[in-house]
Amino acid sequence: MRKLLALALAAAMALSLAACGGSADSGDTTPADTGASDAADAAQDTGDAVPDAPAGGGTIGVCIYKFDDAFMTTYRNALQEILEGKGYSVTVQDGNNDQSKQNEQINTYITQGVDALIINPVMTSAADQIIATVKEAGIPTVLINREPTAEQMSAYDKLVYVGCDAAQSGTFQGELILDTPNKGDINGDGKVSYIMIQGDPENIDAQLRTEYSVKALTDAGVEVEELDSQRGDWDREKGQTICANDLAQYGDQIEVVFCNNDDMAIGALQSIQAAGRTVNEDIYLVGVDALDAALTEVANGNMTGTVLNDAVGQATAAVEEMEKLLGGATYASGSQSVYVDYVKVTPDNVADFQ
């Protein structure tokens, strides 16, 4: 709770809502805006600009792709707390990583007549179907965490996506390595040899973090060598296994372990320690999310750094956008993504997030 409040405060200060495609225009009800800062203004102004949402009286259906995901657990708890704090009646369903199960849950919510839906799709590839379903039912919908394309979203004007710009988190991971004394080249052989432990590759967050973390290094003129890149599906145990196998195979050649999220990084850390390696001395390790466990390891020097994936900021923005929709707002095509900034977390600033 303390952390939730602290993060909410940090989010309020750092929250920069930037719209994908340069506009967070709430369509019919708010003036058109262009550019990220205008988008932030639009987000701030919305209270005045759109009719009031039914204050606290509504029923909200929330679908989470699976409860057994460390980051989405923080996110869904924040969502529930914010919605209930505003007086909404909330039901949260576990999709168990099964898209057909989630489809049924969405249909049930529709039959029950919920006022709005907040959906974390199981599969981004199912976005067309989800969007068609909620459109036909006319239910205002906020998609979270797994971003569909702008074209897919343009099918329904009472739909908005709230998330983060995944490329930014990848860039920040690369910068965390560039900020080390040897820029990641621990053995001084002129190149950074890394392994990449990926999330679910169907997820744009996994794709862009994988690409942009390495791009940050190459853009800075650093030569890189990929020893291995494997999917760990955001899962701690898989992160541990992949890292253990790679350490057995490549040993001291591995200078950097990039993990697309913290849960896999925590798993990787267990293998790093079991192999007798020492983070920040003979190997670097970075993740994304700023889970509590990762913040502890950054503070202890057992992780080089992480990147705050602001669950509370995103939950806050998701509820804000939902209320705009409930107030009658519609979204213009190309202006249906709202982004919350990532933040780099290092030993220098980790205390601000704990």
CB nearer to ligand BGC: give 209 or 324. 209
Residue 256 near residue 280 (C-beta atoms within 8 A): no
Question: To the nearest whole angstrom, how small is the minimum distance from the Cβ of residue 72 to ligand BGC?
Answer: 6
Q: How far apart are CA 317 and CA 330, in angstroms?
A: 16
Q: Which residues bind ligand BGC (CB under 6 A)?
A: 69, 71-72, 145-146, 199, 203, 205, 234, 261, 263, 288-289, 309
Nearer to ligand BGC, 152 or 168 (CB): 168
Q: How far is the CB of 69 from ligand BGC (least distance, A)?
A: 5
CA distances from 313 to 7, 83, 121 (A): 8, 13, 19
Q: How far is the CB of 332 from ligand BGC (least distance, A)?
A: 26
Pairing relationship of beta strands 141-144 and 18-19 according to DSSP bridges: unpaired
Select 153 or 288, whichever has its Cβ closest to ligand BGC.
288
Q: 12-18 — which CB contacts under 8 Å span 24+ positions?
A: 14/310, 14/313, 14/341, 14/343, 15/310, 15/313, 15/316, 15/317, 15/340, 15/341, 16/40, 16/340, 16/341, 17/43, 17/317, 17/338, 17/339, 17/340, 18/165, 18/338, 18/339, 18/341
Query: At CA 191, angle to CA 186 and CA 194, rounded to 5?
Result: 75
**Shortest gap between Cβ of 71 and ligand BGC (angstroms)?**
3
CB of 352 to ligand BGC, least distance (A): 20
CA distances from 37 to 20, 44, 308 (A): 12, 11, 21
Spatial separation of the C-alpha atoms in residues 73 and 105, rounded to whole Å: 18
The distance of closest approach from Cβ of residue 309 to ligand BGC in the complex, given in angstroms and rounded to an integer, is 5
Rounded least distance, CB 209 to ligand BGC, Å: 8
Of the pair 175, 200, the CB lying nearest ligand BGC is at 200
Residue with tokens 């606290």: 56
Could you tell me the smallest distance in angstroms from the CB atom of residue 199 to ligand BGC? 6
172/170 Cα distance (integer angstroms): 5
| Host H or E run for residue 70 | helix 70-85
- Minimum CB–partner distance for residue 12 and ligand BGC (Å): 21
By beta-carbon proximity to ligand BGC, the closer residue of 59 and 96 is 96
Pairing of strands 306-308, 343-345: antiparallel
Map residue 59 onto helix, strand or coil: strand
Q: Closer to ligand BGC at the Cβ: 146 or 158? A: 146
Rank residues 88 and 342 by Cβ distance to ligand BGC and give the closer one. 342
Tell me the two tokens of residue 191: 């190149």
Beta carbon nearer to ligand BGC, 71 or 339: 71
Is residue 128 within a helix (H) or strand (E), and if so which, with residue range? helix 127-137
Query: Residue 69 or residue 115: which is nearer to ligand BGC going by CB?
Result: 69
What backbone phi and psi angles, to 5 degrees, belong to 230?
-140, 155
